[in-house]
A and B are shown apart, each in its own frame.
Chain A
Amino acid sequence: MSQISRRQAIAILGALGFGATAAACAGPGGTTAPGGATGPAAPATGAITGKVSFAHWRGEDKVVFDELIKRFAALHDGVEVVQDISTSNDYNAQGLQKVRGAAIGDAFATFRGAQFKNFTEAGIYTELKDSKAAANYQPGLLSAGKSGESQLGLPYQVVFPMPMANADLFDKAGAEIAPKDWDGFLAMCEKLAASGVTPISWPGGDVGNGGQLFNCMIANNAPVDDMCAQIEQGKLKCTDDWFIKMLNQYKDLVPFLQPNSTGTAVEPAQNLFSQGKAAMLATGSYHIAAVRALGAQFPIELVFPNTSDGNGKYEGAYNATFILGVNSASKNQAAAAAWIDFLSEPENAAYYANQTAQHVSVKDLEYTNPDLKRLSPWLDKKTALAARFQFQNLDVRNAVEASATAVISGTSPEQAAEAAQKIVDERL
């Protein structure tokens, strides 16, 4: 072997260092513009075979998806669907980086709002407007997956981010389960408290779940439907009268929440509810399966904290989320699209819904799960699309929602509003 001189060796090391420096100095980015000039393309067609990664955050639905995967594989020889599951918080924070490039997530789901927007801007979605799957959805519920004229994603789940109620405890206390206005809601809480239970279990120590109540509290207080988008744009302010009024209503709730509610994580809050110690769990219908798993056997209803004086525009709040899509960078788009088609067939969507106790956006299906059957009338009520997902900036969202937590901790509504608005102003 010919020898390398010391000079040559140093030159090689130097070249390596220079290469690393040069590579580091390459500009960030490097992806093509989303969709190109003609907009996103439909998923490629071809043989339905090979491995499909399905990226999502619903760990609690894994077993149900496993069964659906088995049924899907039985229909298509040689296809294998693997679930890549993250926790919801991690998926919200890192989902785009994980799915981008399609190392995982040939098929994937996104949250409505900031995450869907970022995925759209990054060009990760393909066009599903003319897909077989899209035709199976209720048209009114597809808007959360639209970007301009394109139908990029299919919002699979319909959830009601409203307090769940233990109907037995309400009956026992003689409390009205559908209050018509704010005074009625407080009177209902009074009756529940008088019957010896905690009226509301609220996970104030968990930003994501604790923030769901915000959807109800803001729905009938705000002057416009896109109130959160307008707060973010500086058109509305947290220091406006309507917002302060809402914070004062949060203050009204303090005597009806469990003690030290701002330090309560979601699991203990669920436990208080499932054990019958609290009459309501202020998260949403997406927790039905969890509280059933904790042993709750009572009938579950939904309660809308109606903040209006009786003339409110909305009777409840809902969210269309778990927005399914096919990855534009996937090398197996045909199989990924077939998987989305499969999930969107009424029979399979019904299986998913009934097993996970979650309503879905797919039309013409039959709910057999008793909880879903009981809560199905809410699908036809005049409900507001969950406002907190209008925020595109997570810092703004957290700051605005934190104002409610601060009020419950004892800060005055005016001070809490000012603190939130300061952060909003910094990000305008």
Chain B
Amino acid sequence: MSIHPGTAAKRKAPDSRTATGASKKRRSPTRVNPALYLFPLPAVAIIAFFLVMPTLQAFQYAITDWNGFSAAFNYVGLDNFVRAFTKDSLFTNALTNNLKFVLMVVIAQTAFSLVLALLLTKNSRGSILLRALFFFPTILSSVSVAFIWKFIYDPNFGLANAVLGGVGLEALQGSYLGNNAQALYWVAVTQVWFHAGQMMVVYIAGLQAIPRELYEAAEMDGAGKWQQFKSITWPFVAPATSIVVAYTTVQSFKAFDLILGIAGNPPKQSLDILSTRIYSTFANSEFGYAAAQSIIFMAMIALVTWLQRRLLRLTPKGE
């Protein structure tokens, strides 16, 4: 049985007046039964237990040197945070890698998914089939994707070198993930392949909501395709872009399973990103330090997302 709080209050009001008789107080028509506040209690308890508590604990652990299993530990103040930025080249390397990775993936994935969406906006049979094809990688698990691409990139038996060899481009054959200077770019290609279809769907929804009349009017005014895109499409898909950019950013920061699947555990330095570095630090029994790294990680995602929204002006005024 469902209870509508407003209805319950309305029904109850005349009864209480009759019962008390002398009471002249009138209940507000929006007043709800206070017991209803207990309904969200299970959800609140779950959030408190699984989200709030661990987050608060992370802050506490971050100022200790706890190893993850001993009863003994020391409070070290902000030493862990200072260490991360000044005395740990593995952490700063992972941070640099991660920012590079985010930049590459956000630009490539946003552009690629928008292009795909523009090409496949119409609801023709061909478009629907292609949309399904491009969306398909999204439904795969990240570990499967990692193993597929690990095979593609294998320099001995892999598909990439085999294809290049097959068409006479042996000179372009390479080591891919084994080349420290290029490895991160190859993983970025995988990440874009994995998620561009999903972002394409977001863009298609945005594009299909644009009134056709605007394009017709623009055409009558003599606007070319580029001008139509610049003046109509881009402003109207800004909310979709906002979602795509924010989601891609968070996704790229947290490409943990993809990196671990494709590069092994622990990944080599050229493929180490913040989430894998934090995992390695936990595995190295430095829980306090890993908690500090996690907090920096969290702050970094928030900062980058905020900066993006400011720079791209994706947040409409008043929101």
Contacts and interface: CB of A to CB of B under 8 A. Distances in A.
Contacts of A24: 52-57, 60
A265 B34 contact: no
A175 interface: no
Contact of B265 (A4, A89, A100, A265): A89
Contacts, number: 174
Contacts of A252: none
Interface stretch (B66-74, B192-200, B221-229, B240-248): B66-74
B203 interface: no
A316 B268 CA distance: 27
Nearest to A259: B155
A394 interface: yes
B266 A398 contact: yes
B33 A3 contact: yes
B41 A16 contact: yes
> Chain B's interface: helix, strand, loop or mixed, by majority?
helix
Interface in B256-297: 263-269, 279-285, 287-288
Given A9-B35, A20-B53, A31-B70, A205 B177 contact: yes
B156 A268 contact: yes
B35 A20 contact: no
A121 B38 contact: no
A34 to B, nearest CB: 8
Contact of A25 (B56, B264, B266, B284): B56
Contact of B153 (A12, A93, A259, A263): A263
Nearest to A33: B71
Nearest to A23: B53
B85 interface: no
Interface in B141-180: 150, 153-158, 174-180
B89 A122 contact: no
B283 A258 contact: no
Contact of A16 (B48, B57, B89, B269): B48
Contacts of B70: 29, 31, 121-122
Nearest to B86: A426
Interface string B74-97: 000000000000011110000000
A393 interface: yes
A96 interface: yes
A139 B240 CA distance: 68
A30 B71 contact: yes
A30 B67 CA distance: 12
Contacts of A328: none
Name, among A19, A27, A114, the residue most crowded by chain B CB atoms within 10 Å (CB to CB).
A27
A3 B35 contact: yes
B113 interface: no
A206 B269 CA distance: 12
A369 interface: no
Interface string A1-33: 101111111101100110111011101111111
A28 B89 CA distance: 27
A339 B107 CA distance: 56
B61 interface: yes
Given A96-B68, A263-B154, A405 B41 contact: no
A118 B69 contact: yes
A8 B36 CA distance: 12
Contacts of A272: 156
Contacts of B268: 207, 398, 402, 405
Contacts of B87: 426
Given A4-B35, A30-B71, A395 B155 contact: no
Name, among A5, A8, A24, the residue most crowded by chain B CB atoms within 10 Å (CB to CB).
A24
A207 B35 contact: no
Given A27-B73, A31-B69, A260-B174, A12 B264 contact: no
A265 B56 contact: no
A94 to B, nearest CB: 7
A405 to B, nearest CB: 7
B307 interface: no
A5 B34 contact: yes
B48 A394 contact: no
A271 B34 contact: no
A264 B71 contact: no
A393 B284 contact: yes
B49 interface: yes
Contacts of B154: 263-265, 268
Contacts of A27: 60, 73
A287 to B, nearest CB: 16
Given A3-B33, A3-B34, 18 more contacts: A13-B37, A13-B44, A16-B48, A17-B52, A20-B48, A21-B52, A24-B57, A27-B73, A205-B263, A205-B264, A207-B267, A208-B264, A260-B155, A260-B174, A263-B174, A268-B157, A405-B268, A426-B88
14 contacts: A3-B35, A4-B38, A16-B44, A24-B55, A29-B66, A29-B70, A93-B279, A96-B285, A100-B69, A118-B67, A262-B180, A268-B154, A395-B280, A405-B268
Shortest beta-carbon contacts, A-B, top 8: A263-B178, A260-B155, A24-B56, A93-B283, A260-B175, A9-B37, A262-B178, A263-B175
Interface of A: 1, 3-10, 12-13, 16-17, 19-21, 23-25, 27-33, 89-90, 92-94, 96-97, 100, 114, 118, 121-122, 204-208, 258-265, 268, 271-272, 393-395, 398-399, 402, 405-406, 409, 422-423, 426
